[in-house]
A and B are shown apart, each in its own frame.
Chain A
Amino acid sequence: MRKTYRQFATVFALLMLALFLVGCDALDAMREEHGVYAGETDRSTVTFRGETYRELGLDAEKLFYRDLSSRVYITEPDVPVLLASTVGEYGQTDAEMNFIVLYRERNAVYAREDIYEEALAETKMEDPYTCIRLQYLDGKNSGRGWQYHTLSEAEEALVRRVLAGVPLKEEAVDFAYLSPSQTLFFESETGLFADNSYEIVEFSGGVAIRDCNFYDKGDPEYYIAGEADALLLKELLDKYPG
């Protein structure tokens, strides 16, 4: 009987040991959200998913990101992954994992090492917005699944040409009809800077680009497109409906 118990105990112990070779999806998911500072007091770099991120010295509250969706909890090096969400600092990353943005416990922006120099250069530019994307819904217009169309050179030139005109205030524009708008995202090359305060709108008087930056200007301003440009903008709206 004792021999049977011993054999059973040995098999049981080996089975328990073997379980250490089997992973756990829930733990892996937690590790995917766990970032680590360089040291206990060194916050200059963060290691996240095997990549190194360096601090850019920007105010996170002044920046806007198109799609900050994935979360990350950043802790000191010795903190176990199970406690990361409890004791860690909460941040978010964009879809391409180019940046980590912290805006709760601390206010900081980290850029991935390979795009750090490029992002740092963008912080010194007066106009870092080198790329324009048009936001539209998918073909079924289901209200979900925003898509983005990157404007071609000609389309970008069109938008910048219209914006070069003299803006009009709201009271000067006839709003008998105003279509649902499509948002224009002005972005820097790395995506560090993004501005979505421009919209293309169709109204009874034609087509305009609306600058919705209320905070600086009070009321929205309208850049009315000329006849030829209005037709081109309308084609863009028809192709990518809002």
Chain B
Amino acid sequence: MVKKLLKYELYAYVRTLTTMYLILIGISILCRFVQLFENDHISYSIVFWSSVIALIITVIACIGMTAIFGITRFYKNLYSAEGYLSFTLPVTPTAHLIAKTAAQVIFSAAAVLVSLIAAAIATAGEVLAELFRAGFWLAGKYFEICGGHGVFYILEILLLLLVSVIYAYLMCCTCITIGQTAKKNRVLMAFGVYFIWYFITQVVGTVMLILIAVFGEIGLLDAIAQVIADYPKAFMHVGLVGATLLFAAISAVFFFVSHRIMSRRLNLE
């Protein structure tokens, strides 16, 4: 059932975001076209840099729209009038959450991919070839320094990025889910929940900084720094895997909270 849900989620994303992606590709083609008239005149500089700025803004808009669409679709599909239809389907809240999260992750990756394609079009030709040369050279240097650990670092970073996207999406969904338990001003309540969560993370961050300062005073920081200096590669693995597990754990909490509310305290308008 999750597959069917996912299919319709993906259709919805395609319907809405395809236009944005086509606009992005169109602007990248325009940017490349402008470069065919390269010369030293100031008018060329103005037009060229304007096209580059337009491209950058469009990339940001594309990625931003993907995130915003995912969140607004979650709200509309489950907690507005559409929710009456969604929750009559023979699927569990778990299936809903998984399908929506998976669709958001897929299209976040798609937005990044389209942005990279746009960048490749905008630099097509000698510049793109040189960019690839530079990329391969840097990759060679990276593996020269990191050795076999390099592959694992890349996998760990990709996993961390994936879990970060899931964390960010589930955080917004949980804020919306908690917000809809209110009798009125549900969206405002969702923002309130978000700010409370933000406040909590800031307090935790400050406490961590105080602890680090205390560790510094008692000399523990020097010992930790020595361990890092002695085992830098292992420390990198610990850091990446630790961050991934932390985000995964918090995401699991968000998932559980959303699931609980959707199962027991659904309060549609």
Does chain B have a CB within 8 A of A121?
no
Contact B125 A20 (CB under 8 A): yes
The chain A residue sitting closest to B121, CB to CB, is A16
Question: CA–CA, A20 to B124, complex, Å?
Answer: 7
User: Given A23-B126, A24-B125, do A82 and B134 touch, yes or no (CB 8 Å)?
Assistant: yes
Which residue of the partner chain, among B125, B127, B137, contacts A78 with CB atoms under 8 Å? B137
Question: CA–CA, A83 to B134, complex, Å?
Answer: 7
- In the bound complex, residues from chain A placing their C-beta under 8 Å from that of B138 are 83
The chain A residue sitting closest to B44, CB to CB, is A25
- In the bound complex, residues from chain B placing their C-beta under 8 Å from that of A81 are 130
User: Given A24-B38, A25-B38, do A82 and B131 touch, yes or no (CB 8 Å)?
Assistant: yes
Q: How far is the CB of B44 from chain A (nearest CB, A)?
A: 10
Contact B124 A19 (CB under 8 A): yes
| Per-position binary interface string of chain A over residues 4-41, scored 1 when its CB falls under 8 Å from any chain B CB and 0 otherwise | 00000000000010011111111100000000000000
Does chain B have a CB within 8 A of A79?
yes
- In the bound complex, residues from chain B placing their C-beta under 8 Å from that of A82 are 130-131, 133-134
Does chain B have a CB within 8 A of A226?
no
Does chain A have a CB within 8 A of B32?
yes
Does chain A have a CB within 8 A of B224?
no
- In the bound complex, residues from chain A placing their C-beta under 8 Å from that of B137 are 78-80, 83
The chain B residue sitting closest to A84, CB to CB, is B134
- When A and B form their complex, what is the total count of cross-chain residue pairs whose Cβ atoms lie within 8 Å? 40
Q: How far is the CB of B132 from chain A (nearest CB, A)?
A: 9
Does chain A have a CB within 8 A of B151?
no
Contact B130 A27 (CB under 8 A): yes
- In the bound complex, residues from chain A placing their C-beta under 8 Å from that of B121 are 16
Which residue of the partner chain, among A21, A23, A26, A80, contacts B134 with CB atoms under 8 Å? A80
Contact A16 B38 (CB under 8 A): no
Contact A27 B127 (CB under 8 A): yes
- In the bound complex, residues from chain B placing their C-beta under 8 Å from that of A19 are 32, 124-125
| Per-position binary interface string of chain A over residues 65-88, scored 1 when its CB falls under 8 Å from any chain B CB and 0 otherwise | 000000000000011111100000
The interface size of chain B toward A, counting residues with CB under 8 Å, comes to: 17
Question: CA–CA, A25 to B121, complex, Å?
Answer: 18
Does chain A have a CB within 8 A of B35?
yes
Question: CA–CA, A82 to B136, complex, Å?
Answer: 12
Does chain A have a CB within 8 A of B129?
yes
Contact B133 A24 (CB under 8 A): no
Contact A20 B131 (CB under 8 A): no
The chain A residue sitting closest to B38, CB to CB, is A25
Question: CA–CA, A82 to B137, complex, Å?
Answer: 11
Question: CA–CA, A204 to B259, complex, Å?
Answer: 98
The chain B residue sitting closest to A27, CB to CB, is B126
- In the bound complex, residues from chain B placing their C-beta under 8 Å from that of A79 are 137
Q: How far is the CB of A5 from chain B (nearest CB, A)?
A: 13
- In the bound complex, residues from chain B placing their C-beta under 8 Å from that of A22 are 36, 125-126
- In the bound complex, residues from chain A placing their C-beta under 8 Å from that of B130 are 27, 80-82
Which residue of the partner chain, among B35, B39, B134, contacts A24 with CB atoms under 8 Å? B35
Q: How far is the CB of B38 from chain A (nearest CB, A)?
A: 5
Which residue of the partner chain, among B35, B36, B124, B131, contacts A16 with CB atoms under 8 Å? B124
Q: Which of B47-78 contact A (CB under 8 A)?
A: none
Contact B127 A24 (CB under 8 A): yes
| Per-position binary interface string of chain A over residues 112-143, scored 1 when its CB falls under 8 Å from any chain B CB and 0 otherwise | 00000000000000000000000000000000
Q: How far is the CB of B121 from chain A (nearest CB, A)?
A: 7
Which residue of the partner chain, among A16, A24, A78, A83, contacts B126 with CB atoms under 8 Å? A24
| Per-position binary interface string of chain B over residues 116-151, scored 1 when its CB falls under 8 Å from any chain A CB and 0 otherwise | 000001001111011101100110000000000000
- In the bound complex, residues from chain A placing their C-beta under 8 Å from that of B127 are 24, 26-27
Most buried by B among A23, A78, A81, A83: A83
- In the bound complex, residues from chain A placing their C-beta under 8 Å from that of B126 are 20, 22-24, 27
The chain A residue sitting closest to B120, CB to CB, is A16
Q: How far is the CB of A207 from chain B (nearest CB, A)?
A: 46
| Per-position binary interface string of chain B over residues 98-111, scored 1 when its CB falls under 8 Å from any chain A CB and 0 otherwise | 00000000000000
Question: CA–CA, A83 to B136, complex, Å?
Answer: 12
Q: How far is the CB of A22 from chain B (nearest CB, A)?
A: 6
| Per-position binary interface string of chain A over residues 89-128, scored 1 when its CB falls under 8 Å from any chain B CB and 0 otherwise | 0000000000000000000000000000000000000000
Question: CA–CA, A16 to B118, complex, Å?
Answer: 12
- CB<8 Å pairs between A and B, sample of 27: A16-B124, A19-B32, A19-B125, A20-B124, A20-B125, A20-B129, A21-B125, A22-B125, A22-B126, A23-B126, A24-B35, A24-B125, A24-B127, A25-B38, A25-B39, A26-B127, A27-B126, A27-B127, A27-B130, A78-B137, A79-B137, A80-B134, A82-B130, A82-B131, A83-B134, A83-B137, A83-B138
Going nearest first, the 8 A-B pairs with the smallest beta carbon separation are A19-B125, A80-B133, A82-B134, A80-B134, A19-B124, A24-B126, A25-B38, A82-B130
